[in-house]
Amino acid sequence: MEELGRKTVEGYKQASKTPVTVILENVRSMHNVGSVFRTVDAFLLEQIILTGYTPQPPHRDIHKTALGATETVDWKYVATATEAIQGLQENGYTVFALEQTKNAVSLESFLSLDYPKLAVVLGNEVEGVSEEALAICNGAIEIPQLGMKHSLNVSVAAGILFWKLTEPYLQTNR
């Protein structure tokens, strides 16, 4: 890791983070949760908020895909996504759902720099983001898809989204 210039756990904890918080709402799969932890670590995002029945560390199936990211990434549990969203909004965050909705903004045109405190909600693998959570989000972001299938695995969607949200910060933090 030293040869690759990777951060230590302590170095990660002290590093300046990309100002994005992730809310996982009722994500069932421990492997998806672990994968999101790993991807949040890769892009140095602020934190993860686990809600509903989303599994929580420590668990060997989460650790299997997180590969230690549960030790670096700040996370907490909040009972519902609506509670998490409202709490973030009260603290100045703008919250977007990653969801295919009528008024969703296409990801390629979304500018994360427009929101100094940004949070994104990723929903259940089958149901997506709940209607209750969508109703109080400031908006929605959609990943354009060209094929027959119009859904992505939540961890794949997270990787695409986090890359796009992190892109503007790569210019200043490399």
Would you call the peptide bond into 58 cis, given omega within 30 degrees of 0 as the criterion?
Answer: yes
Residue 151, pLDDT above cutoff 70: yes
Domain assignment of residue 4, yes or no: no
Residue 74: beta bridge partners? 47
Q: Nearest CA to 155 among 122, 128, 131, 127?
A: 122
Q: Position 72: which residue type?
A: T
For residue 150, give the DSSP letter: -
Q: Can you tell me the mean pLDDT for 95-109?
A: 96
20-24, 38-42, 63-67, 109-113, range with the lowest pLDDT: 109-113
Domain assignment of residue 173, yes or no: no
> Distance between CA atoms of 88 and 138, rounded to whole angstroms?
11
CATH label of the domain that carries residue 37? 3.40.1280.10
Q: Can you tell me the mean pLDDT for 98-124?
A: 94
Domain assignment of residue 90, yes or no: yes
Q: Is 103 exposed, middle or buried (0-12, 13-18, 19+ CB in 10 A)?
A: exposed
Question: What pLDDT is attached to residue 142?
Answer: 97
> Distance between CA atoms of 157 and 107, rounded to whole angstroms?
11
State how many domains the chain has.
1
Question: Tens digits of per-residue pLDDT, 5-25?
Answer: 788 999 989 999 999 999 999
Q: Can you tell me the mean pLDDT for 62-74?
A: 96
Contact 117, 92 (CB under 8 A): yes
Residue 108, pLDDT above cutoff 80: yes
Domain assignment of residue 2, yes or no: no
Please report the DSSP string for 126-145 in residue order.
TTBS-HHHHHHSSEEEE---
> Which pTM was predicted?
0.94
8-12, 17-21, 48-52, 102-106, range with the lowest pLDDT: 8-12
Domain limits for position 18: 9-168
Domain assignment of residue 25, yes or no: yes
> Distance between CA atoms of 16 and 22, rounded to whole angstroms?
16
Residue 73, pLDDT above cutoff 90: yes
